[in-house]
Amino acid sequence: MTVTADARVPRPTHPFFAFLLAGAVPLFLGALLSDLAYGSTAEVQWSNFAAWLILGAMVFTGLALLWALVALLRARPRKGWPLLCFVLLLAAFALGVVDSFVHARDAFAIMPAAPILSGIVAAIVGLAALAGFSSLRSGESR
């Protein structure tokens, strides 16, 4: 078995980064579905669900964003999948903050912004996950 000394040999995505990326997607998706349910029923509990799901999603997205930033800084060259993943997570986080504030409004004041924002963020974070899983970490020792 040959062990290469080249630190640039690509490795697959780190399991914890994969966990963060994969975790954020269903949480934002759940928020979107809850928002849609609230929009059609005016049952306020759906809006409460959405607010908590977004909070959870933001924890995952925030940690994933930090991870992606470090990965980007360590990547050579600093472009391609790592850059795309970072940019998408940054966009998802920024819009997620706005989505959180929208969900802090009372009752139907969250409409129609809530499902629109949650939908966009869910899509972006989904793309970020795809980009994250497509990027290959450089194999420096940890």
Partner 1 sequence: MKRLFAAALLAALASGCGQDAGTDPVQYGADPQLPRQQRGLVPSMKIADPAPWGDARPTVPQGYRITAIATGFGIARQTLVLPNGDILVAEGRGGGERALRPKDIIAGFIKAKGTSQAKSGNRLTLLRDADGDGVYEGRTVFADKLNAPYGLALVGGQLYVANQDALVRFDYRPGQTKASGPPVTVTLLPSQINHHWTKSLAASPDGKFLYVGIGSNSNITERGMAAEVDRAMVWQVDAATGAHRPFATGLRNPTALAVQPGTGQLWAVVNERDELGPNLVPDYLTSVREGGFYGWPYSYWGQNVDSRAQPQDPAKVASAIRPDYGLGSHVAALGVAFSSPAMGPLFAEGVFVGEHGSWNRSRPSGYKVVFVPFRGGRPAGPPVDVVTGFRGADGKTRGRPVGVALDPRGALIVADDLSNTIWRIVPERRSPAAEAPTRPAAPAPRADPPATSAPY
DSSP letters spanning 4-68: ---TT-EEPPPHHHHHHHHHHHHHHHHHHHHHHHHHHH--HHHHHHHHHHHHHHHHHHHHHHHHH
Name the DSSP letter for residue 112. Answer: T
- The reply on whether position 16 binds partner 1 by CB under 8 A is no
Cβ neighbourhood burial of 8 (10 Å; 0-12, 13-18, 19+): exposed
Q: Which of 105, 127, 133, 137 binds partner 1 (CB under 8 A)?
A: 105
Show contacts with partner 1 in window 43-82 (CB under 8 A): 43-45, 47-48, 51-52, 55
Q: Nearest distance from residue 75's CB to partner 1, in Å?
A: 25
Q: Which is nearer to partner 1, 66 or 107 (CB)?
A: 107
Q: Which stretch binds partner 1 (CB under 8 A): 8-16, 63-71, 85-93, 94-102?
A: 94-102
Q: Nearest distance from residue 8's CB to partner 1, in Å?
A: 34
Contacts of 120 (CB under 8 A, 6+ apart): 95
- The reply on whether position 14 binds partner 1 by CB under 8 A is no
Distances (CA, A) of 94 to 5, 17, 120, 136, 140: 40, 19, 12, 25, 30
Q: Nearest distance from residue 100's CB to partner 1, in Å?
A: 7
Q: Which is nearer to partner 1, 33 or 51 (CB)?
A: 51
Residues that bind partner 1 (CB under 8 A): 42-45, 47-48, 51-52, 55, 98, 100-109
